[in-house]
Amino acid sequence: MSALLESKGLVAGYDKVVVVRDVDLEVSAGELVALLGPNGAGKTTTLLTLAGDLRALGGTVSCLGLDGDASLHQRARAGLALVTDARAVFTRMTVAENLRVFRTTPEAVVELFPELEAHLGRRVALLSGGQQQMLALGLALSRGPAVVLADELSMGLAPMIVDRLFAALRTAANRGAGVLLVEQHVHKAMAIADRVYVMDRRGISISGTAAELRQRVDAIQSSYLADSSA
């Protein structure tokens, strides 16, 4: 199966400051891949480079047939969705107004998150953080992206909300999208993932199927602690 998203020998960072190097990673249609690691390992930098928001400093990136020079806007038009913990929604508008701006329908978003139906006429600023993240993810998934990049969606949210968000990502993969989830919560991410990459400050340190790596959760979490104290 050919990859929708792939990097080989990826070097990423800001200006000329290298944050990660030699990252080999791929995501195919119909699978959810988790990218795990401690704070400061470079997970978000890697994700933003894969998305085209940052230019790669070395190596190659291919996304939906576009080369590494394609911008985030170009990749989005080709079928990429990027969802972060920043909750990119218009907080001064109502939920319904956000749907119109993003050119999607209430039915498409409510199918994913029925709890938003009662808030369509409410200003987004008055929603809880979890509801705002549901809206942001719902807006992205309702348009049927081919590739979904999700960065730390669980940040600051209650476990029940995180479970709802992760279930929506799993459903998107089951429907054929390639999903890459950057996350710190090992157990929750591995529960829904097909494959897993673990990143430390030296790059990808562990990779394998989620089924294989579930047997090594303690070792993976220990590597977080060791890396954070380095």
Strands 195-200 and 203-209: antiparallel
Report the alpha-carbon distance of residue 116 to residue 95 in Å, rounded.
8
User: Do residues 46 and 197 make contact, with C-beta atoms less than 8 angstroms apart?
Assistant: no
Return the structure tokens found at 169. 């990502």
Nearest partner of 104 among 48, 145, 163, judged by Cα: 145
pTM for the whole structure: 0.92
Residue ranges per domain, the chain? 3-79+145-152+172-228, 80-142
Return the structure tokens found at 173. 């993969």
**Residue 188, helix vs strand vs coil:** helix
At position 46, the amino acid (one-letter code) is T
**Class of domain 3-79+145-152+172-228 (CATH, top level):** alpha beta
- 68 or 54, higher pLDDT: 54
**Residue 80, helix vs strand vs coil:** strand
Return the structure tokens found at 118. 């009662």
Lowest mean per-residue pLDDT among 11-15, 62-66, 105-109, 215-219:
215-219
Confidence of residue 229 (pLDDT cuts 50, 70, 90): very low
Residue 230: the pLDDT is 43
DSSP 57: S
Confidence of residue 98 (pLDDT cuts 50, 70, 90): very high
Residue whose token pair is 């459903």: 171
At position 77, the amino acid (one-letter code) is R
**Residue 172, helix vs strand vs coil:** helix
User: Do residues 47 and 180 make contact, with C-beta atoms less than 8 angstroms apart?
Assistant: yes
At position 165, the amino acid (one-letter code) is L
- List, for residues 153-180, the tens digit of each pLDDT value: 988 899 999 999 999 999 999 999 999 9
Terminal CA-CA length for the chain = 38
| DSSP per position, 85-140 | TT--S-TTSBHHHHHHHTT--HHHHHHH-GGGGGGTTSBGGGS-HHHHHHHHHHHH
